[in-house]
Amino acid sequence: MTTQTKFSIPILDLKAQYQTIKSEVMSAVESVFESQYFILGKEGISLEETLAPYCQAKFAIGCASGSDALLIALMAIDIKPGDEVITTPFTFFATGGSVSRLGAKPVFVDIDPDTFNLDPRLIEEKITERTRAIIPVHLFGQCAEMNEILAIAKCHNLAVIEDAAQAIGSEYYGKRAGSMGLINTLSFFPSKNLGAAGDAGMMLTNDPDLAEKLQVLRVHGGKPKYYYKMLGCNSRLDELQAAVLRVKFNYLESWTKKRQENAARYDQLFADYKLTEQVKTPKVLPYCRHIFHQYTIRAPKRDQLMAYLKENGVGTEIYYPLSLHQQDCFAYLGQQTGSLPHSEQAAQEVLSLPVYPELTSEQQDYVVSIVAKFYAQK
């Protein structure tokens, strides 16, 4: 390994990405301004028509964010106060938060420590007569065990909503994330593999009646316009976001490939530096296409390692530092600390490293060399 000078490597470098697509993005944005048509126009429809087949779903319905996509999906299946929805505690807040916002109860089930995803073996014991749905999250870009989850759901007559916010283009036995549940959701938060220039999200379904309902719910529940049979919300994916996303979509597969190559290079570097005793690298299931939204390791002395990497110019992030059942706003659920040990432990150990497409092999070598230095001195 070569000796490196000090680098400055952020967890994600969106400026580097922007430089490669700047003229295309700006001309797409300009054409929306020229049209002066900003809400529910041809850009949004075109994006929906592009992403539905990409995700192997029949229908795609844009909305204002990944959080709204979850909320509207739950509204579409009539989740109400008193209902229970099973989900993972090791995820971004919106997954559990959307359930609570409708007055329903999120029931957190522990994760498989190898993949960080909902452990299907633990689901059935949490099913009650009030359980209505399961929301698996395809965390970090690898699908949850959907065969088992779908089989349990079928057996107990539950709806499945895939939270595919982090998993666009990922596959499970050849099936795309977003194609397997009843309604499935995407986020285009700027840091996602396909990121907008602001907030945006999408719902996916194969059911024509649900597709129609989702379309109505995102416009306050009105159909025809100004006549309301149900209560919806205002949640549209606007034309500017759709135009930016359409440009970026053309690069998504090549960016995904680069992320996968970077992940494989990290695996190799951690082995070369003989760090695999200390650091646990991500486990990729042989039947999954992992799209590496994050490359997340488990590391002893995680917080010190993170600080050391920062001192040496390397940005990292903790996704997520506190399991959802331990959040103050979910204390009323009564799921005590100690009840979901794998999720709690993951929150203590995980560290996501830069894996963005523009990352160079030299930068990766530097990142791992700093990790090696840290463990050598401790």
Question: From the CB of 355, what's the least distance to ligand PLP, in Å?
Answer: 15
Q: Would you state the structure tokens that stand for residue 8, as one six-digit string?
A: 């400055």
3-state secondary structure 5-74: CCCCECCCCHHHHHHHHHHHHHHHHHHHHHHCCCCCCHHHHHHHHHHHHHCCCCEEEEECCHHHHHHHHH
d(CA 378, CA 372): 10
Q: Does 141 bind ligand PLP (CB under 6 A)?
A: no
Q: Does 201 bind ligand PLP (CB under 6 A)?
A: yes
Q: What is the largest CA-CA distance in the chain?
A: 68
Residue with the shortest CB distance to ligand PLP: 66
Q: Does 296 bind ligand PLP (CB under 6 A)?
A: no
Only segment of 64-72, 122-130, 151-159, 269-277 that touches ligand PLP (CB under 6 A)? 64-72
Q: Does 189 bind ligand PLP (CB under 6 A)?
A: yes
For residues 117 and 144, the answer to whether their CB atoms sit within 8 Å is yes
Q: Does 140 bind ligand PLP (CB under 6 A)?
A: no
Question: From the CB of 359, what's the least distance to ligand PLP, in Å?
Answer: 20
Q: Does 238 bind ligand PLP (CB under 6 A)?
A: no
Contacts with ligand PLP in 143-182 (CB under 6 A)?
A: 163, 165-166
Q: Does 270 bind ligand PLP (CB under 6 A)?
A: no
Contacts with ligand PLP in 73-132 (CB under 6 A)?
A: 91-92, 94-95
Question: From the CB of 21, what's the least distance to ligand PLP, in Å?
Answer: 21
Number of Cβ within a 10 Å radius of residue 241 = 24
Only segment of 43-51, 60-68, 145-153, 265-273 that touches ligand PLP (CB under 6 A)? 60-68
Q: By rule CB under 6 A, what count of residues binds ligand PLP? A: 15
* Angle (nearest 5°) at CA 319 between 87 and 369: 145
What backbone torsions phi and psi does residue 162 show, to the nearest 5 degrees? -80, 125
Q: Does 66 bind ligand PLP (CB under 6 A)?
A: yes
Buried b (16+ CB within 10 A) or exposed e, 283-320: ebeeebbbbbbbbbbbbeebeebbebbeebbbbbbbbb
Question: From the CB of 198, what's the least distance to ligand PLP, in Å?
Answer: 10
Q: Does 17 bind ligand PLP (CB under 6 A)?
A: no
Q: Would you state the structure tokens that stand for residue 13, as one six-digit string?
A: 């470098």
For residues 196 and 241, the answer to whether their CB atoms sit within 8 Å is yes
Q: Does 323 bind ligand PLP (CB under 6 A)?
A: no
d(CA 170, CA 181): 14
Q: Which residues are at the interface with ligand PLP (CB under 6 A)? A: 65-67, 91-92, 94-95, 137, 163, 165-166, 187, 189, 199, 201
